Amino acid sequence: MKVVITGGTGFIGRMLAKRILELGQLTGPSGAPEDIDEVVLFDAVAPPGPIGGLDARVRVVTGDIADRDLVFGLIDRDDVSVFHLASVVSGGGELDFDLAIRVNLTGGLNVLEAARARGSTPRVVFASSVAVFGGAAMPKRVGDATKQTPQTTYGATKAIGELLINDYSRKGFLDGRSARLPTVIVRPGKPNLAASSFASGVIREPLNGETCNLPVKPETAMPVLGYRNIVEGFVRLHEASPEALGDDRAINFPSVTFTVAEMIEGLRRVAGNRHLGEIVVEPDPRIEAIVATWPSETDAARALALGLPVDQAIDPIIEAYIEDFLDAI
Amino acid sequence: MKVVITGGTGFIGRMLAKRILELGQLTGPSGAPEDIDEVVLFDAVAPPGPIGGLDARVRVVTGDIADRDLVFGLIDRDDVSVFHLASVVSGGGELDFDLAIRVNLTGGLNVLEAARARGSTPRVVFASSVAVFGGAAMPKRVGDATKQTPQTTYGATKAIGELLINDYSRKGFLDGRSARLPTVIVRPGKPNLAASSFASGVIREPLNGETCNLPVKPETAMPVLGYRNIVEGFVRLHEASPEALGDDRAINFPSVTFTVAEMIEGLRRVAGNRHLGEIVVEPDPRIEAIVATWPSETDAARALALGLPVDQAIDPIIEAYIEDFLDAI
């Protein structure tokens, strides 16, 4: 079978591709495990260099997800699964509303329509976000049954994507699942336009010996999940039976809430003798305003019942990053 | 100022136009009351004959709401308000998914974009529906904070419309409000493709001396509101201050729950000596399946706080229909 990962050259896309290649099989539209012979990483721009850890089954395709014909050309086999990760991120969507609608809404519809056109009811896993929650009436702890009143265009388009995944699944056009992700840490590389980018940066930059300008107060709390468990959660959500998901295909991913101060304490414990760059608290009202609209705790009863993994502490998340990205080089 | 009513030649559109002409003023984008000098009723098809009770301020325009240029041409003044009622209905959306997406989603986006393009932050009142609720986890009584898990494409597109209204309002592109309507009774004329059409038919057809084939069991309960209060609610929601609406612009309209049997009892009481056509119970599994996904009671705390009116009993709803549509002829 073929696996298409949109946003595939991004960090999570690449990690997911590696994990899928390692597994070698996923449940196909037939309902039985099928060997994976083709993985397409689709993204808006080509990666700066070769992607390590992949193999000859993988192909990178670049283009505009709002181009319907291009997207239909990616999803060109009946024995296919799609992981739809491509998205304008939270901070980016606040800067460019029209781009967020174009990529997240029009692009998302193209992916769903292309999967529907196969007629084989492919599994489609959609990366949603806890940014679907927000607003004055939001409870402190958001669960699978909490009303979605997003306060960013990013969150609004993710909530719309969940509604579409549910309806396309109900109609039998595809077999969809929406993964409502907390903030993913620790992302390697450079900061991005996500308002949550600092949650990785506050660990990554000091470990790289660089100064981190922290745009929020250290007491800021947010639900996070280490990328290893994010990737594993995507795979397990793909493998869950349609019956276990029922008529609401969107689930809160498991998460654990830390304050930024707790992340920094964990960093100091794990770093040991490593030299750490400085952390300078420089609150940015634009970032603080976005982060303030997000929930600080999530309840993930459905995900835990489906067997999705969760981190229990900050230290192993930081240790995994050091192992995968610092010591591995 | 100008008022544009999409779906304007439909029953509620025409009643709303009459009420607005009678009032003569609405709050304009300036925040002050403005005289209404132009009302456009936009719809997909021309009404079969002249519309009574209107005046020279009213113009009917027909066309495809998915035609962006056409919609921009309707909303061509800065001093404008829009009531966006045009929609593929519940039963129709289940029969033609693509049409529901085209009219409700693409058409809806055209209306929002045209209002945004004015730059004057026009008020836009969007007709949503309690069909945004549904699914296995839905509580018996749905409130303003109940999660939306619609089980029809109609409901899904209405929930998407609410999210867009909220986000366009948050961005200051327009000043939106979503009216989450219960089943409207008593609609005059012919049955339509709405799965709830029988709720009007079971009163209307017998009063016309015609046989009503009831597609659901008499014990079926549903939240309803008489059309006079629906129209009044639209006006009051338009007039509400942005501050009173906050960051969630969607509100459950008030409703009262009756079983079909209670509606029939009311009909017999009100009808007096009138000859009534027969009611034949002929359950239609397709209609029953759709109706079963809807909530049977709504809580409308926000609407009541905003002063939206509610019916207390079935008899006055039926009496109003007789007064407006039977005795008036």
Residues A129 and A183 sit within 8 Å (Cβ to Cβ) = no
Say how far residue B161 (Cα) sits from the centre of its chain. 14
CB contact under 8 A, B167 and A145: no
In a shared domain, residues B262 and B147:
no
In a shared domain, residues B164 and B268:
no
Q: A160-171 as b/e, with b when 16 or more CB fall inside 10 Å?
A: bbbbbbbbbbbe
Mutate to test the interface with B, among A95, A149, A178 (most CBs of B within 10 A): A149
Q: For A53-181, where are the E strands, in sequence order?
A: 58-62, 80-84, 123-129, 141-142, 175-181
Q: What is the pLDDT of residues A71-119, one digit of tens each?
A: 999 999 999 999 999 999 988 999 999 999 999 999 999 999 999 999 9
Element (H, E) at A235: helix A227-239
In a shared domain, residues A272 and A245:
no
Residues of A with CB under 8 A from a CB of B: 97, 101, 109, 134-137, 144-151, 153, 156, 159-160, 163-164, 166-167, 170-171, 246-248
Q: Is residue A38 domain-resident?
A: yes
In a shared domain, residues A175 and A286:
no
Place of tokens 């899904």: B156
In a shared domain, residues B245 and B260:
no
In a shared domain, residues A170 and A57:
yes
Q: For residue B33, what are its two tokens? A: 């009351």
Q: Indicate the DSSP class of residue B254.
A: P
Chain B nearest-CA residue for A142: B147
Q: Is residue A147 domain-resident?
A: yes
- A227 classed as catalytic: no
Q: Is residue B302 domain-resident?
A: no
What are the φ and ψ backbone dihedral angles of A126, each rounded to 5 degrees? -105, 130
Q: Specify whether the backbone of A134 is left (phi greater than 0), alpha (psi in -120 to 50) or beta.
A: left
Chain A nearest-CA residue for B154: A167
In a shared domain, residues A10 and A124:
yes
Q: Is residue A307 domain-resident?
A: no
Say how far residue A298 (Cα) sits from the centre of its chain. 16
In a shared domain, residues B129 and B161:
yes
Mutate to test the interface with A, among B99, B128, B149 (most CBs of A within 10 A): B149
Name the active-site residue from A154, A168, A227, A321: A154
Determine the 3-state secondary structure of A172 from DSSP: coil
Residue B146 with chain A: CB contacts under 8 Å: 147
In a shared domain, residues A71 and A143:
yes
Residue A209, domain CATH: 3.90.25.10
Q: Is residue A302 domain-resident?
A: no
At B111, the amino acid letter reads V
* Structural domains counted in chain A: 2
Residue B163, domain CATH: 3.40.50.720
d(CA B180, CA B121): 22
Q: For residue A98, what are its two tokens? A: 């029209």
Entry pTM: 0.96
Helices first, then strands: H and E counts in chain A: 13, 16
Q: Is residue A303 domain-resident?
A: no
Predicted ipTM? Answer: 0.95
Domain range enclosing A134: 2-182+226-252
CB contact under 8 A, A156 and B163: yes
List chain B pLDDT tens, one digit each, 329 residues: 999 999 999 999 999 999 999 999 999 999 999 999 999 999 999 887 778 888 999 999 999 999 999 999 999 999 999 999 999 998 899 999 999 999 999 999 999 999 999 999 999 999 999 999 999 999 989 999 999 999 999 999 999 999 999 999 999 999 999 999 999 999 998 898 889 999 999 999 999 999 999 999 999 999 999 999 999 999 999 999 999 999 999 999 999 999 999 999 999 999 999 999 999 999 999 999 999 988 999 999 999 999 999 999 999 999 999 999 988 75
In a shared domain, residues B53 and B160:
yes
